[in-house]
Amino acid sequence: MSLTERSYEEKRNFIRMKVDTMVSFTRADSKERYEGRCRNLSGAGMLLETEKKLQLGDRLRVTVPSEGPDFSPLDAMVEVVRVDAIPNLHKFMCGVVIRKLSEQ
């Protein structure tokens, strides 16, 4: 199969992994900390579920904790590029693009 014959799901530059882990985040211009869940993760971004309403273009510092002592937490600066409301759950699903990974 040539590269031009790939199926739609395989056209991504980074594989999207389903995850279900708690995250914490702050807005880039604030110290106030919020909680949410990371629902999927790739090398380019993630899907966050949160009760905090975010706006397109918001810049956040997101921390995904480590599952063990051999790995550092993921600490990234991200930008909100999609916000979908889930009215019956009073939550939001937010697509974010990773702009910069912080070094631990």
Q: Where in the chain are the domains?
A: 14-101
Q: What is the mean pLDDT of residues 10-26?
A: 78
pLDDT digits (tens, 9 = 90+) for 47-104: 999 999 999 999 999 998 887 777 788 899 999 999 999 989 999 999 999 999 886 5
Kindly indicate whether the domain formed by 14-101 is annotated with CATH number 2.40.10.220.
yes
d(CA 6, CA 34): 39
Write out the E strands in 28-69. 33-41, 45-50, 59-64
Q: Is 60 exposed, middle or buried (0-12, 13-18, 19+ CB in 10 A)?
A: buried
Residue 56's pLDDT is 97
In this prediction the pTM is: 0.79
Q: Is 78 exposed, middle or buried (0-12, 13-18, 19+ CB in 10 A)?
A: buried
Element housing 19 (H / E): strand 17-27
